[in-house]
Amino acid sequence: MIIDENEKKDEINEKFLVGLCECYLLLNEELSYEVLSICIHCLLKAASDKEKKKEIQKDVEIALLALSNIYEYYEVERELYLNEIKEIIKYHQKHHNLTRLAYQSAWQFLIIRLFSNRSLEGTIANELHFIRETRRELEELKCCVDWKKKEKQKRRGEKEGKEEYVLIRWLQSLDHYFRFCQSKTAEHSELIGIITQLFRAATDNHKYISARCLYLLRRAADDGALEVEDILKGGAIDATLEGISQPTFNNRIKYESLVFFTHFSRKLKEEGKDEVEEAKRKLIKRRVFEKMEEEGYEDIIASFHKKLHFLSSRFYYGLSLNISDYFVYA
């Protein structure tokens, strides 16, 4: 139907074609490359409508949401989307014409393309300022979510609110960023800071979000683009110690905390390129060691020794069974 409608040329019913394309992308996991190119062109055109009317905003939101559903393993040529999606993002940054979900969807569609096209890194990190925009959106969403509403108070089958849903999508997009972007920026520490704030806000009643935040902190600790100082200034050490010290045993929280410390200790063991950098590394290492000693970190880790095998087999990535990998000695 999409191919037939697209071939009508002058007689195309654009609204009907947009609806077909949205259904196709939202309801299918196996996509045809022939149909995919039609859908991207059609939906980007629909999403480029700059009107602020509520009904137009809703149409744009659905078009971008459908586009964000094109999984990373579908290789899409830059020429098919880059100029249009950049214009949509830049226009919103200046005029704020999109809904929260629409704006996040535009970013998600773009950042997922990094999987098959690493040349997009400069555009994402430096031209469109992904870190700055993500941090701002997360800070605003943090103020909108009802953090006090307990999970058990939700009606059975009730999904998270729209703000929570958009927040989770931003966290998923950050996962792609940490995996594929190596651009260094002074804004990284502020990003780590808002992730730690979200972890604390979600700890009591939003277990999925709190675990997701710790997952991103351990991603950051393993990321070559983030400096040790970024992680420290952002408060990741404090947050992860809080996670691992929680009296209620949450396996996912403990697992992510342990992986964070293996990555972070490995980062601190990397020798500096020159004497100045090496002296700075040793000073930071001493600060971290003293903080961990003060918090009783070594005793906490030792108490998990018999649990390491269980946690390692319970989750996707193997956890080191060597207890010394979790320590940072001065």
192/220 Cα distance (integer angstroms): 8
Question: What CA dihedral angle connects 221, 263, 256 and 160, to 10 degrees?
Answer: 20
203: number of CA atoms within 13 Å, CB side?
18
Asked whether 192 and 230 are in contact (CB, 8 A), the reply is yes
Average pLDDT, the chain: 87
Structure letter (DSSP) for residue 123: I
Residue 150 CA to residue 163 CA, distance in Å, equals: 16
Residue 172 corresponds to which amino acid?
Answer: Q
Q: Would the CA dihedral through 295, 215, 226, 278 be positive or negative? A: positive
Percent of the chain's residues with pLDDT above 70? 93
- Return the domain boundaries, the chain: 1-128, 188-330
Q: Counting Cβ atoms within 10 Å, is residue 3 exposed (0-12), middle (13-18) or buried (19+)?
A: exposed
Average the pLDDT over 281-309 and give the result. 80
User: Cβ(35)–Cβ(1) under 8 Å?
Assistant: no
pLDDT at residue 156, as a whole number: 44
How far CA 276 is from CA of 67, 268, 271, 284, in Å, comes to 48, 15, 11, 13
- Using alpha carbons, select from 197, 326, 178 the residue that is nearest to residue 258: 326
**Residue 236 contacts residue 196 (beta carbons within 8 Å):** yes
pLDDT at 21 over 90: yes
The per-residue pLDDT for 160 is 59
The CA distance from 88 to 208, in Å, is 31
pLDDT of residue 159: 53
Q: Which amino acid is at 142?
A: K
Query: How large is the average pLDDT for residues 31-44?
Result: 93
Distance CA 95, CA 100 (A): 13
To the nearest whole percent, how much of the chain has pLDDT over 90?
Answer: 45
- pLDDT digits 0-9 by tens, 262-282: 888 888 877 777 788 788 878
Alpha helices in the chain (DSSP H): 2-6, 14-27, 33-47, 54-67, 82-95, 100-112, 121-122, 130-144, 162-180, 188-202, 207-221, 228-233, 236-244, 251-269, 275-294, 297-303, 308-314
The predicted-structure confidence for 152-166, as pLDDT tens digits, reads as follows 555 444 555 789 999
Q: For position 157, what pLDDT does the model report?
A: 44
Average pLDDT in the 234-252 region? 80
Pair 18, 43: CB distance under 8 Å: yes
Listed range (89-103, 142-156, 175-189) with the worst mean pLDDT: 142-156
